[in-house]
Structure 1
Amino acid sequence: MNEMPTGLLFGLLALLIAISAFFSSSETSMMALNRYRLRHQAKSGHRGAKRATELLARPDKLIGSILIGNNLVNVLVSVIAGSVFAQIYGEILTTIVLTLALLIFAEVTPKTIAALHPEKIAYPASLILRPLQWLLTPLVLLIGGISNGLARLLGVETTANSDAEHLAPEELRTVVFESGALLPSKHKGMLLNVLDLDQATVEDIMIPRNEVVGIDLENNAEQILQQLAESSYTRLPVFRGDINHVVGILHLRKAAQILRDGPENLTSEQLNSFTDDPYFVPEATPLPTLLMNFQKTKRRMGLVVDEYGEVMGIVTLEDLLEEIVGDFTASPVPSDDEEIVAAEDGWYMIEGGTSIRDINRTLGWELPTDGPKTFNGLAMEHLESIPDGNISLYILNYLVEIEEVSDKMITRAKIKKISH
């Protein structure tokens, strides 16, 4: 080797450093591949993705093969440089130059490029890595067995974790949230709302009992017919005296015959014959469970009951879908009966019975939702009593001014978020 021309030796060293750079970039690019994009491309028939998937099925064998090849090349570089160039240029200078050359050309640069463009490096490299892995299998298994044995002695589990590549809901939420321009903002919001469904229950979205519109069989025929003719709802609960004594749910498509027959022929028995059996839902039911139950039973409305069987309100399929896609009935022009109305200087007029979830979703606020479900309940919890008049209070970093109070609740308030 000492008789080999100097130029040829430099060429041999350059070739070995290039091979070392190949191994370094291959290792980084393989580990930097997006596993979900890789699976999608492999299922779409991409040959490079298929080869990479096969190699990554056993990452221990892949890394072992790469490290064995890389170390053999680096040792060979050291041997050639130490036996030839150290005698010519000196050991210290040879060591410094060789270290810098390996770091720059065989480690840092190729690994940086591979980390930035993993697919461009990994897919072509798999053509070489696959036969190399097969060739080095006996040596890889031997070294792997020894290293795994040492790891077990140190109390480290070496078996593969089947859940390692699975995303938890919180991780998936982060992926969706940080998807940037890859997803339209509206679609991103819907996906995030789906992921947040299991954090809410029926109680969070139900229409409270005092706001439920239904047909009372104790009213006279003229009142019932007028209510049917003027109703803006598709389905109405039918009850006797009190909603706790519900007898069924009436779909207004069946009301045409009732209206045609007139008040003189309207009886409780006739009205009952047009109703469907009521469907009861516990107030603590998670929203994903409610959605599955609605789908399974072909229902679109449920009566929400508490642990004592008392009716607390109603929940509809529309209420549930609005948690995912937003309000179906949102209007760009505010009306006088809206629960949340913008005022001057960042203030908002809010009805007392407004859901805290609706406030947070509409205004992008972070009022606490782990306690009372309505703004009235939240304010009363902080005050610990029904206020005697118009007072002000702070709820976290929100300034609240009570505007209207009834005997039982806060009916209207002004709220403003205070910046800190």
Structure 2
Amino acid sequence: MNETSLTVLSSVLVGLIVLSAFFSSSETGMMSLNRYRLKHMAKTGHKGAKRAQGLLQRTDQLIGVILIGNNFVNILASAIATVIAIRIWGDAGIAIATILLTLVILIFAEVTPKTLAALFPEKIAFPASHILGPLLKALYPLVWAVNLFTGAILKILRISPEDAANDHLSREELRTVVNEAGALIPAKHKDMLVGILDLENVTVNDIMVPRNDVVGIDLDDEMETILRQLRSSQHTRLPVYKGDINNIQGILHLRSASKLLLQEDINKAMIMQLCREPYFIPESTPLNTQLINFQKGKRRFGIVVDEYGDVLGLATLEDILEEIIGEFTTDYSATSPDIIPQDNGTFIIDGATSLRAINKTLGWKMPTDGPKTLNGLITETLENIPETNVCLKVAGHRVEVLQIKDNVVKAAIVHPGRRKKRSLL
């Protein structure tokens, strides 16, 4: 073998190593592509994304053509390197060629190109699709034959490609994607997206206004009392009942009642004519279902009832929306009369405040799988209704009962939970 032949073989060997690096980087780049970003780019008309998406629709064929090409060039490179090594070093060239070629392929045709492809998959995969597409068509019979044997082996192992995980994200996976989006999604928008995902896990019972806090019109009251209530009410809609809240007659919208207030002779029958039929909601209804029900029925207000039909409270469309977008006030702890911050870091909290509202407002983790309000949590922990002001520990927080009235904890002082000290060692 003359020097010219040796030079030609060396050039071919370098070209084969470059081809090996191409196939290795193409495989990693294609497999590392973000499928959801790829679909988005393809929909917007990106040609490289469309080609890559087409190749990835049959992953077995894509991997087949890449591995056929990669193994072919590696084996051919090994043969040529052996010939060159024997020409230079004689019989010892076989061992030398094996060691040197292994190192060269490992560094320049495997680790380096695959690392680059993993870091920048789009920059590698999109240009590579120009070559892989025609190559797949040219080698399709060979790829088909290889996949045929591969499929037979998988059947023997009782493995079906259909059993593989699909590209659909579960709710928890989508939550992780949203939380890991970083600066791409503003924090407020993240909270809203997570709030939508959480709607299924929250029931109407968790966000309703409790029965004790429901403001309504009692038809058994004097007409003067009713009119005074209509003029001073801070609510847009009021339930109308007779004697007891369980005996609801209808829902009155104050916009309709405002016309009555201009008249002189007003009676209860005229008020009832303006009432809309009450809409009842089972307490266990998930919020995502109730949101759709409100939309279908063109409702914004519903009465929450238990399995026996007794009224537990009321829920509004605004209550559900607040679970998604948060409170409509910018600083709930500063403006809410239910949670009043103190100078010493404690909070005076109304006993009827829901535990979910406390957790969302103050970032705490009080249990919500049992009682729904602070009063309920305190009485459950004590296993009785406190007769005097007591101090107890609830869910890691020190709670001091401040006011008790009608067998209900009206207010309590709650201390923030202690944070664990970080070790300096």
Q: Same fold (TM over 0.5)?
A: yes
Shift of 1:413: 1.6
Shift of 1:11: 1.6
For 1:276, the aligned partner's letter is R
Measure the CA separation in 1 of the matches of 2:96 and 2:190: 58
Q: How does 1:16-415 map to 2 (within 5 A)?
A: 16-89=16-89, 90-159=93-162, 161=164, 164-262=166-264, 265-330=265-330, 334=334, 338-415=337-414
- What does the per-residue CA deviation read over 1:142-162, in whole Å, with 9 as the maximum and x for residues that have no partner? 11121221122122223364x
Measure the CA separation in 2 of the matches of 1:88 and 1:378: 86
Conserved in 2, the CA contact under 8 Å of 1:392 and 1:401?
Answer: yes
Question: CA 1:303/1:142 → structure 2, altered by over 3 Å: closer, same or farther?
Answer: same
- What does the per-residue CA deviation read over 1:303-345, in whole Å, with 9 as the maximum and x for residues that have no partner? 000000001111011111111111124557835x611121234
- What does the per-residue CA deviation read over 1:27-56, in whole Å, with 9 as the maximum and x for residues that have no partner? 000011111110111011110000001000
> Across the two proteins, how many residue pairs are aligned to each other?
416
Conserved in 2, the CA contact under 8 Å of 1:41 and 1:49?
Answer: yes
Question: CA 1:334/1:254 → structure 2, altered by over 3 Å: closer, same or farther?
Answer: same
Measure the CA separation in 2 of the matches of 1:365 and 1:189: 16
Measure the CA separation in 1 of the matches of 2:163 and 2:381: 51
Conserved in 2, the CA contact under 8 Å of 1:48 and 1:126?
Answer: yes
Question: CA 1:24/1:2 → structure 2, altered by over 3 Å: closer, same or farther?
Answer: farther
Partner secondary structure for residue 281 of structure 1:
strand
TM, length-normalised to structure 2: 0.94
For 2:334, the aligned partner's letter is P
Shift of 1:103: 0.5
Measure the CA separation in 2 of the matches of 1:182 and 1:350: 37
For 1:113, the aligned partner's letter is L
**RMSD of aligned Cα (Å):** 1.6
Measure the CA separation in 1 of the matches of 2:357 and 2:219: 33
Q: Corresponding residue for 2:423?
A: none
Shift of 1:2: 7.0
**Unmatched runs of 5 consecutive residues or more in structure 2:** 421-425
For 1:108, the aligned partner's letter is V
For 1:284, the aligned partner's letter is S
Shift of 1:84: 2.4
Shift of 1:402: 2.0
Measure the CA separation in 2 of the matches of 1:273 and 1:376: 38
Aligned sequence identity (%):
53
Conserved in 1, the CA contact under 8 Å of 2:400 and 2:413?
Answer: yes
Question: CA 1:330/1:46 → structure 2, altered by over 3 Å: closer, same or farther?
Answer: closer
- Larger CA deviation: 18-27 vs 86-95: 86-95
- Larger CA deviation: 389-398 vs 287-296: 389-398
Shift of 1:135: 1.4
Partner secondary structure for residue 100 of structure 2:
helix
Shift of 1:283: 0.4
Conserved in 2, the CA contact under 8 Å of 1:397 and 1:419?
Answer: no
Conserved in 2, the CA contact under 8 Å of 1:2 and 1:84?
Answer: no
Structure 1: which 4+ aligned runs deviate by more than 3 Å?
A: 1-5, 329-335
Conserved in 2, the CA contact under 8 Å of 1:214 and 1:238?
Answer: yes
For 2:357, the aligned partner's letter is D
